[in-house]
Chain A
Amino acid sequence: MKDSGFPVINTLLEGAEEWVSAAQNGDTTAARQLFDRYGAAVFSYIFFLSSAGRDAAFDKTAELMARRLAVRRLEDEGSFLADCLREARDAARSLPVRAAFDAPSASEGPAAGAQRLLKEALERLSFDEKAYLLLRDQLCLPYALIAQVHATDERQARLRVEKARLALREALEGILRRKEGVL
C-alpha cells in the first residue's frame, strides 16, 4: 500500500480563511481544497467517536462539511475546522452505535492487533473523554483549537486530554489483564 502519511494530521491550520470565503461564494475549487484538506480529520473524528460505522461516518462528514460551506453564515464564530469538528462531535453523539467492530481482514498489518485492542479500550471511555483525546492524540490539533471546539479555555482542554489519556491507559490495562493475563 502506498504510504500516504497520516492524512488525519495533514491539516493546514493557517491560511484557510480565504478558501472558506471563496467556497462560500460558490468557488468549487476552493471547496474541494477544503474537503481534501480536512475531510479525513472530520471523518476520523466521527468514526472513532461514534462507533457508528464507516458508512454513517462517511455520510455525516460529507453532509456537514458541505453544509458549512454551502449555507452561508454572515457571522463566523470560529474557524472552519473548529466549526466542522464541533458539529461532528454533536452529530456523533446522536448516531446509532454499531454492535461490534469490523471483522479483521487478511490485509491488515502487524499493528492491527494493537489497534483493535486500542479501539476496544476507546469504547470504554466516556463520550467526552474520547471527544478530547482524539482531537489531540489522533488529529494532533493545537490546544487552542481543541478549546475552540469544546467552547472552553486551553488550560481546561489540556486537563481534559490528560484525564482522558489516563482513562485510556486504565482501560487498556483492564483489557490486557482480562484477556491475556499480561499485567
Chain B
Amino acid sequence: MSACAEDRKNVRKFMEDLLEEGEYQRVRRHVQECASCRQFVRAAGSISSLLMDMGRTACPADLADAALFHYDKMRREQPASPPSPAVEAASPVDPVAVNRPSDRLWKALVVVLAAALAWTIWGGVQTKDAPAPPTVVTVPAVAPVSPRADFEWGHLHLHWPSGREELSVFVAALAHEVRYEAPGLLVVRVPAEHAEAWQKAIEEYPGLVMAEDGSVEPPSGSDRLYSFDYREA
C-alpha cells in the first residue's frame, strides 16, 4: 500500500545510496516529510534505515534548552567586542520564525519584567502609586552587598561585586512578576498552576534561600508568593 506518489524504487535506492547526490537529498527530504515513506523505510529493516531510526530513539528532547543555556552563559562571559563586518551586514533570522505569536508574547513578557526590575532596582525606593506590597518574610541580618541584577531573555541574572559566580534563573516562563522588596530580597509571584514546576526548577539553585510566604494573601488570590534572600552570606 502506498499513500504517496513517490516512486518506491527511488526510496529503495536512497536506502542503498545508489542515487545521484541531488536526487539523494531530494528523497531524504521527502522521507522526512512523508509518513508513508518513513514507514516504508522502517519496514525495510535495512542497515541504513535501522541506523536512521536509532538516531530517532536516542535523541533527548531538551537538548536545545541546554545548548541555549550554555550559549547565554558563554556570551555573558565574552569580553565585549565590535561585531565583524560580515555579522553586521548579515540580515536577521527567518522573519516568519521571529514573528511567531509565542515569540512576540515572550519578548513582551521580558520587556515588562525588565522594566519592573529596572524601576525597583535603580530607583532604590518603592513607588508610591504601586499597589500595596505584600509583607515579606524576615531575612537573616547579614550585611547587604548590593548585587547588580539584569534581565535578559527570560533569565534573571544576579551579579555579586565580590566576584562570586553570577546566578542565572530562568523565570519568565513561570513567574508573573519579579519584584525587589528590599535590598537583598526578591519576591516572585507565580501562578498557582505553575507553583510546583517553579519549586522544582528553583531547587536546582542551592545558592538561593527560598520560602513560600504564607503570611500574605497574594493579590490575585490564586497566585503564590516566593521570596528569596539573595544576599551574600
Contact = CB atoms under 8 A, between A and B. Distances in A.
Interface stretch (B1-9, B91-99, B190-198): B91-99
Interface residues of B, number: 53
A119 B54 contact: yes
User: Range of interface residues on chain A?
Assistant: 35 or more
Contacts of B93: 18-19, 22-23, 27, 29-30, 33
- The listed residue with most A CB atoms (<10 A of its CB), out of B68, B69, B83, is B68
Interface stretch (B74-82, B114-122, B132-140, B162-170): B74-82
Contacts of A115: 50, 53-54, 57
B92 A27 contact: yes
B59 A44 contact: yes
Contact of A114 (B17, B32, B45): B45
A152 B63 CA distance: 30
Nearest to A14: B25
Interface of B: 17, 21, 24-25, 28, 31-33, 35, 38, 42, 45, 47-48, 50-60, 63-64, 66-75, 78, 81, 83-84, 86-88, 90-94, 97-98, 103, 153
Interface in A5-63: 5-10, 13, 17-19, 21-33, 35-36, 39-41, 43-44, 47-48, 54, 58-59, 61-63
A52 to B, nearest CB: 13
Given A31-B68, A61-B67, A62-B63, A40 B92 contact: no
B87 A168 contact: no
B99 to A, nearest CB: 10
Nearest to A36: B64
